[in-house]
Amino acid sequence: MTALSLSLLALLTWAAGIYPASAQSQNPLVPDVWQGDVVPQAPKLGDREKLRFLTDSDYPPFHYFDEEGVLTGFNVDLARAICEVLEVECEIEEVDWDDMLDRLEAGEADAAIASIRIDKENRRKADFTQRYYATPARFIGRKDSEISDPKPETLKGVKIAVTEGTGHAAYLKHYFPEAEILTFSSAEAANGAVKDGTAELAFGDGIGLTFWLNGVTSDGCCEFRGGPYVDATFFGEGVGIAVPKGDRKMLELLNYALYRVHADGRYDELLLRYFPMSFF
């Protein structure tokens, strides 16, 4: 297995507890929810011949319309892989993000797979499978920056850009109280503050930062600084597939399918197809 594969697979193995402020140079070894000595038994499908998924279409590479107008992306292909495991027809409908959980609650689909965070607010409307990915927080800095390993004691008075109202902003205020925190209305603006020298570092979502660093907008100005930060309190429990509340049978089916997709290597293939750049 390549180093890139190992980096991406680490997304499924970070612990859900609170970590200290300093980034982990090596993620703690915790039980992988998709592995272990006990292989789950295949659930009974009964007369089910189809699974109906809801998703969004405006969050590449997770879900989007390609050049030919075909709905595709990591979440879409994962849903199709789940259907293949369960040997059922797969129906995936693109809906407005704001209506998704309401439509699921109304019984218009069996599940929603759209990078939906497992959090208190979303749990009011839906139940969730085990998480199938989680995103670390990362620092970025200009390539000529002398800051190589951001820590609370080394960032006193250092200007750090972050998106206002986010868990990342709250994390900085809690663990880096002596840094000078500059808040911006968007991640793009926060990243731009590092590019133009307004801030020395930016702190945010690892996936978003990866695509910005490797995109046109950054002009190759910057790179990651330090390691990943994982904290369920500030960054959430990860992402899961939503099902109507109380539908334990559907949770059983999907958790089994996710285990199988992971165990047979298809999950790895999807990660490498859609995320060739490591963000962990």
User: What SS3 state is found at 2?
Assistant: coil
> pLDDT (tens digit, 9 = 90+) per residue, 104-163?
999 999 999 999 989 888 999 999 999 998 888 999 999 999 998 999 999 999 999 999
195 Cβ contact list (under 8 Å, min separation 6): 142, 218, 219, 221, 222
Provide the pLDDT for residue 31.
30
> pLDDT (tens digit, 9 = 90+) per residue, 79-95?
999 999 999 999 999 99
d(CA 220, CA 213): 7
Residue type, 224: F
Q: What is the side-by-side strand order in the sheet with 126-128? A: 89-94, 50-55, 111-117, 239-244, 126-128
d(CA 131, CA 217): 31
Pairing label, strands 89-94, 50-55 = parallel
Give the residue carrying structure tokens 């507890």. 17
> pLDDT (tens digit, 9 = 90+) per residue, 214-256?
889 999 999 999 988 988 889 888 899 999 999 999 999 999 9
Give the residue carrying structure tokens 């609170």. 18
Residue pair 141/223 in contact (Cβ under 8 Å)? The answer is: yes
Nearest alpha carbon to residue 278 among 227, 238, 222: 227
pTM of the model: 0.73
Provide the pLDDT for residue 277.
65
* Token code pair at residue 34: 């998709």
pLDDT greater than 80 at residue 32: no
Instruction: Please spell the DSSP secondary structure of 108-130, one letter per residue.
Output: S-SEEEEEEE-SHHHHTTEEE-S
Mean pLDDT of the chain: 85
> pLDDT (tens digit, 9 = 90+) per residue, 159-191?
999 999 999 999 999 999 999 999 999 999 999
